[in-house]
Amino acid sequence: MRSHPGASTTLARSAWGQGALYVAAAVLLAGAGWLLDPLANWLVSLKWAPMRGPAELLVSVPEPWLTIGLITLGALAGTALILIDSLEQVSVTVSGERVVLKRAGHVQEIAREQVGHVFQEKGRLVLLGPKGEEIAREKCDLNGGRLAAVFTEYGYAWADGDPYEDEFRIWFPKTPELPDAANALLAARAAAMKSSDSGDSVKELRRELARIGIVVRDKGKQQYWRGPGRR
Protein backbone atom coordinates (compact mmCIF):
# COMPACT_ATOMS: atom_id res chain seq x y z
CA MET A 1 0.00 0.00 0.00
CA ARG A 2 1.36 3.42 -0.95
CA SER A 3 1.58 5.89 1.89
CA HIS A 4 3.18 8.82 0.05
CA PRO A 5 0.64 11.70 0.12
CA GLY A 6 -0.26 13.08 -3.27
CA ALA A 7 0.75 9.96 -5.20
CA SER A 8 -1.75 8.72 -7.76
CA THR A 9 -2.03 6.35 -10.71
CA THR A 10 -4.18 6.91 -13.80
CA LEU A 11 -5.44 4.08 -15.97
CA ALA A 12 -6.97 4.69 -19.40
CA ARG A 13 -6.94 3.26 -22.89
CA SER A 14 -3.57 3.89 -24.48
CA ALA A 15 -3.38 5.93 -27.68
CA TRP A 16 -1.92 2.85 -29.40
CA GLY A 17 -4.76 0.65 -28.19
CA GLN A 18 -7.39 3.17 -29.23
CA GLY A 19 -5.80 3.52 -32.66
CA ALA A 20 -5.69 -0.25 -33.10
CA LEU A 21 -9.41 -0.44 -32.33
CA TYR A 22 -10.16 2.23 -34.93
CA VAL A 23 -8.17 0.37 -37.59
CA ALA A 24 -9.65 -3.03 -36.71
CA ALA A 25 -13.24 -1.76 -36.74
CA ALA A 26 -12.73 0.18 -39.97
CA VAL A 27 -11.18 -2.84 -41.73
CA LEU A 28 -13.83 -5.22 -40.41
CA LEU A 29 -16.81 -3.12 -41.47
CA ALA A 30 -15.15 -2.14 -44.74
CA GLY A 31 -14.92 -5.87 -45.44
CA ALA A 32 -18.57 -6.27 -44.52
CA GLY A 33 -19.42 -3.42 -46.90
CA TRP A 34 -17.48 -5.12 -49.70
CA LEU A 35 -19.47 -8.33 -49.14
CA LEU A 36 -22.77 -6.48 -49.58
CA ASP A 37 -22.20 -6.28 -53.34
CA PRO A 38 -22.19 -10.06 -54.03
CA LEU A 39 -24.93 -10.55 -51.45
CA ALA A 40 -27.16 -8.00 -53.19
CA ASN A 41 -26.51 -9.62 -56.59
CA TRP A 42 -27.41 -13.02 -55.15
CA LEU A 43 -30.67 -11.70 -53.68
CA VAL A 44 -31.63 -10.14 -57.01
CA SER A 45 -31.06 -13.48 -58.77
CA LEU A 46 -33.67 -15.21 -56.60
CA LYS A 47 -37.34 -15.39 -57.62
CA TRP A 48 -38.31 -14.17 -54.16
CA ALA A 49 -36.14 -12.82 -51.38
CA PRO A 50 -36.49 -10.48 -48.43
CA MET A 51 -35.05 -7.01 -48.99
CA ARG A 52 -35.19 -7.54 -52.76
CA GLY A 53 -36.12 -3.90 -53.42
CA PRO A 54 -33.12 -2.42 -51.57
CA ALA A 55 -30.88 -5.06 -53.20
CA GLU A 56 -32.04 -4.05 -56.70
CA LEU A 57 -31.43 -0.41 -55.86
CA LEU A 58 -27.94 -1.27 -54.64
CA VAL A 59 -26.88 -3.23 -57.73
CA SER A 60 -28.18 -0.45 -59.99
CA VAL A 61 -25.19 1.66 -58.92
CA PRO A 62 -22.43 1.27 -61.53
CA GLU A 63 -19.01 -0.13 -60.73
CA PRO A 64 -16.48 0.73 -59.45
CA TRP A 65 -18.46 3.34 -57.52
CA LEU A 66 -20.64 0.75 -55.80
CA THR A 67 -17.68 -1.16 -54.35
CA ILE A 68 -15.81 2.02 -53.43
CA GLY A 69 -18.89 3.48 -51.78
CA LEU A 70 -19.69 0.34 -49.78
CA ILE A 71 -16.12 -0.03 -48.53
CA THR A 72 -15.95 3.67 -47.61
CA LEU A 73 -19.28 3.59 -45.77
CA GLY A 74 -18.23 0.44 -43.91
CA ALA A 75 -14.95 2.02 -42.83
CA LEU A 76 -16.72 5.18 -41.67
CA ALA A 77 -19.28 3.13 -39.74
CA GLY A 78 -16.53 1.19 -37.98
CA THR A 79 -14.73 4.40 -37.05
CA ALA A 80 -17.96 5.93 -35.75
CA LEU A 81 -18.72 2.88 -33.60
CA ILE A 82 -15.33 3.00 -31.90
CA LEU A 83 -15.61 6.77 -31.43
CA ILE A 84 -18.96 6.35 -29.66
CA ASP A 85 -17.56 3.53 -27.54
CA SER A 86 -14.49 5.59 -26.57
CA LEU A 87 -16.71 8.44 -25.36
CA GLU A 88 -18.42 6.02 -22.96
CA GLN A 89 -15.19 4.51 -21.63
CA VAL A 90 -13.93 5.76 -18.29
CA SER A 91 -10.41 6.70 -17.22
CA VAL A 92 -9.58 5.95 -13.60
CA THR A 93 -7.28 7.92 -11.30
CA VAL A 94 -6.60 6.26 -7.96
CA SER A 95 -4.89 7.78 -4.94
CA GLY A 96 -4.92 7.20 -1.22
CA GLU A 97 -7.39 10.06 -0.82
CA ARG A 98 -9.89 9.55 -3.66
CA VAL A 99 -10.93 7.87 -6.88
CA VAL A 100 -11.62 10.05 -9.92
CA LEU A 101 -13.66 8.62 -12.81
CA LYS A 102 -13.64 10.59 -16.06
CA ARG A 103 -15.47 10.11 -19.33
CA ALA A 104 -16.67 12.55 -21.98
CA GLY A 105 -18.64 15.29 -20.27
CA HIS A 106 -18.58 13.70 -16.83
CA VAL A 107 -16.22 13.66 -13.84
CA GLN A 108 -16.96 11.87 -10.58
CA GLU A 109 -14.73 12.21 -7.51
CA ILE A 110 -15.23 9.69 -4.72
CA ALA A 111 -13.49 10.13 -1.38
CA ARG A 112 -11.57 7.14 -0.01
CA GLU A 113 -13.84 6.78 3.02
CA GLN A 114 -16.87 6.47 0.74
CA VAL A 115 -15.52 3.33 -0.95
CA GLY A 116 -16.19 -0.08 0.55
CA HIS A 117 -15.45 -2.49 -2.32
CA VAL A 118 -14.36 -2.24 -5.96
CA PHE A 119 -14.85 -4.85 -8.67
CA GLN A 120 -15.33 -5.32 -12.40
CA GLU A 121 -18.56 -6.80 -13.76
CA LYS A 122 -19.50 -7.39 -17.39
CA GLY A 123 -17.27 -4.62 -18.71
CA ARG A 124 -18.23 -2.18 -15.96
CA LEU A 125 -16.13 -0.82 -13.10
CA VAL A 126 -18.30 -0.85 -9.98
CA LEU A 127 -17.65 0.97 -6.69
CA LEU A 128 -19.72 0.15 -3.62
CA GLY A 129 -20.00 2.19 -0.46
CA PRO A 130 -19.19 0.89 3.04
CA LYS A 131 -22.77 -0.42 3.42
CA GLY A 132 -22.86 -2.04 -0.01
CA GLU A 133 -24.67 0.81 -1.76
CA GLU A 134 -23.69 1.35 -5.40
CA ILE A 135 -21.91 4.67 -5.84
CA ALA A 136 -20.45 4.24 -9.34
CA ARG A 137 -20.88 1.94 -12.33
CA GLU A 138 -18.99 2.94 -15.46
CA LYS A 139 -18.14 1.25 -18.75
CA CYS A 140 -14.53 0.13 -18.48
CA ASP A 141 -12.67 -2.41 -20.62
CA LEU A 142 -9.32 -1.90 -18.87
CA ASN A 143 -7.41 -4.99 -17.80
CA GLY A 144 -8.95 -6.41 -14.63
CA GLY A 145 -5.63 -7.55 -13.23
CA ARG A 146 -4.13 -4.10 -13.65
CA LEU A 147 -7.16 -2.44 -12.03
CA ALA A 148 -7.02 -4.86 -9.12
CA ALA A 149 -3.31 -4.23 -8.60
CA VAL A 150 -3.67 -0.44 -8.58
CA PHE A 151 -6.67 -0.30 -6.26
CA THR A 152 -5.05 -2.80 -3.90
CA GLU A 153 -1.81 -0.82 -3.96
CA TYR A 154 -3.64 2.22 -2.58
CA GLY A 155 -5.44 0.24 0.09
CA TYR A 156 -8.87 -0.27 -1.49
CA ALA A 157 -10.73 -3.55 -1.08
CA TRP A 158 -10.81 -5.19 -4.52
CA ALA A 159 -13.27 -8.06 -4.97
CA ASP A 160 -13.56 -10.66 -7.74
CA GLY A 161 -17.30 -9.92 -7.93
CA ASP A 162 -20.11 -8.34 -5.97
CA PRO A 163 -19.49 -9.37 -2.33
CA TYR A 164 -23.26 -9.13 -1.78
CA GLU A 165 -24.10 -11.46 -4.66
CA ASP A 166 -26.19 -13.84 -2.56
CA GLU A 167 -28.50 -11.02 -1.44
CA PHE A 168 -30.01 -10.33 -4.88
CA ARG A 169 -33.66 -11.27 -5.25
CA ILE A 170 -35.90 -11.38 -8.29
CA TRP A 171 -38.15 -8.36 -8.72
CA PHE A 172 -41.84 -8.64 -9.46
CA PRO A 173 -44.47 -5.87 -9.52
CA LYS A 174 -45.33 -4.51 -6.09
CA THR A 175 -42.65 -6.53 -4.29
CA PRO A 176 -43.77 -6.20 -0.64
CA GLU A 177 -40.24 -5.81 0.76
CA LEU A 178 -39.68 -2.67 -1.32
CA PRO A 179 -41.06 0.84 -0.77
CA ASP A 180 -43.55 2.17 -3.31
CA ALA A 181 -40.97 4.52 -4.82
CA ALA A 182 -38.57 1.65 -5.56
CA ASN A 183 -41.33 -0.50 -7.05
CA ALA A 184 -42.39 2.39 -9.27
CA LEU A 185 -38.83 2.94 -10.51
CA LEU A 186 -38.30 -0.77 -11.15
CA ALA A 187 -41.60 -0.97 -13.02
CA ALA A 188 -40.60 2.00 -15.19
CA ARG A 189 -37.21 0.43 -15.80
CA ALA A 190 -38.77 -2.92 -16.76
CA ALA A 191 -40.91 -1.10 -19.32
CA ALA A 192 -37.90 0.83 -20.64
CA MET A 193 -35.89 -2.38 -21.06
CA LYS A 194 -38.46 -3.61 -23.59
CA SER A 195 -37.72 -0.67 -25.87
CA SER A 196 -34.71 -0.84 -28.20
CA ASP A 197 -33.93 2.89 -27.96
CA SER A 198 -34.21 3.46 -24.21
CA GLY A 199 -30.64 2.79 -23.07
CA ASP A 200 -30.28 6.19 -21.43
CA SER A 201 -33.58 5.80 -19.58
CA VAL A 202 -32.54 2.40 -18.23
CA LYS A 203 -29.24 3.85 -16.97
CA GLU A 204 -30.89 6.88 -15.39
CA LEU A 205 -33.46 4.73 -13.60
CA ARG A 206 -30.63 2.58 -12.25
CA ARG A 207 -29.01 5.72 -10.87
CA GLU A 208 -32.30 6.82 -9.30
CA LEU A 209 -32.61 3.43 -7.61
CA ALA A 210 -29.04 3.71 -6.34
CA ARG A 211 -29.89 7.08 -4.78
CA ILE A 212 -32.53 5.39 -2.60
CA GLY A 213 -30.23 2.49 -1.71
CA ILE A 214 -31.44 -0.13 -4.19
CA VAL A 215 -28.90 -1.99 -6.33
CA VAL A 216 -30.28 -3.61 -9.48
CA ARG A 217 -28.85 -6.33 -11.72
CA ASP A 218 -30.17 -7.59 -15.05
CA LYS A 219 -30.30 -11.20 -16.21
CA GLY A 220 -31.79 -11.09 -19.67
CA LYS A 221 -34.93 -8.97 -19.33
CA GLN A 222 -35.43 -9.88 -15.67
CA GLN A 223 -34.39 -7.51 -12.89
CA TYR A 224 -32.87 -8.60 -9.59
CA TRP A 225 -32.47 -6.25 -6.66
CA ARG A 226 -30.90 -5.90 -3.26
CA GLY A 227 -30.84 -3.25 -0.59
CA PRO A 228 -27.77 -2.11 1.37
CA GLY A 229 -25.53 -5.04 2.28
CA ARG A 230 -25.91 -6.74 5.61
CA ARG A 231 -22.25 -7.72 6.07
Q: By the 8 A CB rule, do 228 and 131 touch?
A: yes
Please report whether residue 10 resides in a domain. no
CA distance 229 to 213: 10
- Does residue 204 share a domain with residue 147? no
- Decide if 8 is inside a domain: no
Q: Each residue of 56-66: pLDDT tens digit?
A: 666 676 677 66
- In degrees and rounded to multiples of 5, residue 35 shows phi and psi of -70, -20
What's the domain count of the chain? Answer: 3
To the question of pTM greater than 0.75 for the whole model, the response is no
The pLDDT score that the predictor gives to residue 141 is 84
Q: Sign of the CA dihedral 145, 95, 10, 6?
A: negative
Residue 5 lies in a domain: no
pLDDT tens across 32-79, in order?
666 676 776 776 676 776 666 676 666 676 677 667 776 777 667 766
User: Where in the sequence is the domain holding 45, given as residue range(s)?
Assistant: 15-87
- Are residue 95 and residue 149 in the same domain, yes or no? yes
Q: Is residue 185 one of the residues assigned to a domain? A: yes
